[in-house]
Homo-oligomer: A and B are copies of this chain.
Amino acid sequence: MAVGQRAVRGREPEPRTVRQPLRQEVVDGIKAYILRNDLRPGDPLPTEPALCEALGASRSSVREAIRILTALDIVEVRHGHGTYVGRLSLSALVESLTFRGLLSPDDDFQVMSDLIEVRELFERGMAERLVSCLEEEQIDRLAAHVDEMRRAGAGEGHGFVEADRAFHTLLLAPLGNDLIGQLSTAFWDVYVIVAPHLDVFTRAHEAATIANHQRIVDAVRDRDPAEFAAALTEHYAPVRLRIEEARSRR
């Protein structure tokens, strides 16, 4: 009963107009609500029943819409607590690219190869700006991460990859371009997740990896963009090589 709560649908005179699903209207409605009230990540959203009434949809439609927005990190849900504006991260990109890498359409390793190439492009393409932008204090922190990798290299690998991730994050931080940093981090995440599934040995040549990181730090300290770019090439070459090795093993 009470089927016609919502504004009557289907009064669209245009035959060309394909009517979109109700949940999509709810998605747009929630987006509009956030924009209209100028909410920020972490701000609370109305409860599910409130959204149902406000948008004229059932709980099912509202919940499906929330699932879509959650996948995009536009909305974040805490069970038993409430619904909030999400962090607007690039988590969806990670999910999407990770699955693409695992499914591997034609060439199993093209995705990985492309990924590394873009990361190298970010750092090499910004070489001049990075070398001039990085301040002494940040360079010290980069060096600290290299030390951290040396310490963690002996033990198990968790600290090693964390330090590696932090190193590259910090390296791109002074650009003032959040997008580049977030993309680079996202690609790093995808690589770390997918590589083991493709028998790419991420922890091979750890010593060489550490040495190359050190070389990058030294180049920055010397404010030498050419040496910086060369160090980056040295750093990424073995990664590319490992992907090629794994590719040829199949």
> Chain A residues in contact with chain B, CB under 8 A?
21, 23, 31, 34-35, 38-41, 60, 63-65, 67-68, 70-74, 79, 88, 90, 92-93, 95-97, 99-100, 102-103, 105, 110-111, 113-115, 117-118, 121-122, 124-126, 177-180, 183
Contact = CB atoms under 8 A, between A and B. Distances in A.
Contacts of A72: 71, 92, 95-96, 99
A128 to B, nearest CB: 12
A74 B60 contact: no
A93 B41 CA distance: 18
Given A70-B68, A72-B96, A125-B124, A177 B90 contact: no
A178 B96 CA distance: 14
A68 B68 CA distance: 5
Given A73-B96, A111-B179, A121-B125, 12 more contacts: A71-B72, A88-B99, A88-B100, A88-B105, A92-B96, A110-B178, A113-B177, A115-B179, A117-B180, A118-B177, A125-B125, A183-B183
Given A72-B95, A88-B103, A125-B124, A118 B60 contact: no
Nearest to A88: B100
A224 B95 CA distance: 39
A28 B247 CA distance: 26
Contacts of A178: 110, 114
Find the residue from A39, A72, A95 having the highest chain B CB count within 10 A. Answer: A72
A102 to B, nearest CB: 6
29 contacts: A21-B79, A60-B60, A60-B63, A63-B64, A64-B64, A67-B67, A67-B68, A68-B70, A71-B72, A71-B92, A72-B95, A72-B96, A73-B96, A74-B99, A88-B96, A90-B93, A92-B92, A92-B93, A92-B96, A93-B96, A97-B179, A117-B177, A117-B180, A118-B177, A121-B122, A121-B180, A124-B125, A125-B125, A183-B183
A35 B102 contact: yes
Contacts of A115: 179
Given A96-B90, A103-B35, A114 B64 contact: no
